[in-house]
Amino acid sequence: MAPTLSICLTDYFHHLLILIISTLFLLFLVKSFRNFKSKSKYPPTPPPFPIIGHIHLLKSGLPTSFQSLARIYGPIMQIRVGAANFVVASDAKSAQQILRTFDADFASKFQPGPTNYHIYEDSSFVNAPYGAYWRFMKKLCMTKLFTGSQLDRFNGIREQETSKLLKSLLNKSKAGEPCDLAAEVTELTNNMIYRMAMGRRCSNYPNQAAKIRRFITDSMKYAAKFHFGEVFGPLKKFDLFGNGKRLKLTLKGYDQMIEQIMKDYQDNDLETSENDDEKDVMDILLESYKDTNAEVKLTRDQIKNFFMELFMAGVDTTAAAIRWAIAELINHPNIFKILREELDSVVGNNRLIKESDVPKLPYLQAVVKETLRLHPPGPLLRRVPNKDSKINGFDLKKGTRVFINVYMIMRDPNCYKEPEKFMPERFLGNSTEMKGQDFHYLPFGSGRRACPGASHAMFVMHATIGALTQCFNWKVKEPEKVDTEAAGTGYSGAFAVPLLCYPNTRFYPFQE
């Protein structure tokens, strides 16, 4: 009896397996027939593994992995990361079509990961779909928050925080101590953003900038953790490793802190000057929040999330660019020497560089441009079409998640001689703009979604890199060069190990 039952079960599972395989094969044929019938031409794709897709091919950072695959499969290709499908565009022609020709069709971004544990899930400005709220916030940024006059007004804050950084480094130089340059410049940019954002009342909250920084850092860490649901779609609602819960707790702590600051502003709003020159970002946003005639009624969550995105976008990216520039200058002493000679010639050696000096310092500008070319703050731009589209001869369905690999575009050997080399000279006498009009050069994106804070970032980078070159000779321990190959190529461009440098004072810019 038992052997007979075993044989029956074996036959059952054998026929079931045949049925499953036949069904899958039939579905494949139907899909192939539909694609053939529709005459659609979809981007090529590497052979995927079942379930995981192409995860096994993404062995380094996404930008460099996409670069390696694009050399095989072309400038437009499909990539599947578990349950998530993407199209990757890796050449200037495709970028121009997405960011200019069909900019209106690609004006929205896709969410970079699961959002069900983010307490501000529907309040993002950076990731908001193209619509009334996004247009209102972009207009607010360009007409009130990041205008030329507003940035000029914040010049004093930038100078004061740069002086604090230099004094800290001068003390380390005097003591013969190394500095963690990444930590130093991150504190610089964090303090600048904090004072610009809510500086009118920052004296009421000692160490508040550092506390906000910790909340932002922790939330980014938990959000960036590998989420199982991105590979196995049906498991997306389960927080298998507890990172979703940690993210939510961190965001609640941040929420309580910002809520208290907002209440303090509102309780003392009679003290707010009517003069726009005395208002910080919090003042401007709360004015819009209270404005009953505003085009869009802001919520408190939208304001809180805006500040979170302001810190995320304005702190790490600018700090990363500065430390990349110093690392490249350490590795290229001849370039460091040329830059210093220009600074000595134009600025002199009896005062510190000012932002007003920058237009007269073409080599400094070239150093910054070359740093951003090799180490873009956002190596992958995200877009999603609002209708079926055709890019570079390939069909993209509505809702397709698209990456534009800026990292690869700005290392294209067809556009740049010896693209892997740090050569600022390539930008001398070159009219390449920072604002995305040249689609071979996109450090801040382009089109409607171009970075609204690019001008502030450029002010900070030029002045800080110039000051660090003026004031110090830089050394690192053995080996004598910074290992840039070991550095990451993710969104923050973080080094694999801390960038420990020895600042040796060459010029003391402060009166005793």
List strands edge to edge, sheet with 472-475. 179-180, 500-505, 472-475
Residue 84 Ramachandran class (φ > 0 left, ψ -120 to 50 alpha, else beta): beta
- For residue 463, which of 348, 324, 353, 314 has the smallest C-alpha distance? 353
451 among the known binding-site residues?
Answer: yes
Cα–Cα distance for residue pair 451/436, rounded to 1 Å: 10
- For residue 248, which of 115, 352, 128, 136 has the smallest C-alpha distance? 115
Cα–Cα distance for residue pair 329/469, rounded to 1 Å: 9
What's the Rg (C-alpha) of the chain? 26
Contact (CB, 8 A) for 408 and 60: no
- What's the first-to-final CA gap in the chain, in angstroms? 101
Cα–Cα distance for residue pair 253/215, rounded to 1 Å: 7
Cα–Cα distance for residue pair 32/207, rounded to 1 Å: 61
Angle formed at CA 322 by CA 339 and CA 507, multiple of 5 degrees: 50
Half-sphere exposure in the Cβ direction for 205 (13 Å, CA): 20
- What pairing do the DSSP bridges indicate for beta strands 500-505 and 179-180? antiparallel
Cα–Cα distance for residue pair 154/511, rounded to 1 Å: 24
Contact (CB, 8 A) for 367 and 465: yes
- Please give the annotated binding residues, written as ranges: 451
- Please give the annotated binding residues for heme, written as ranges: 451
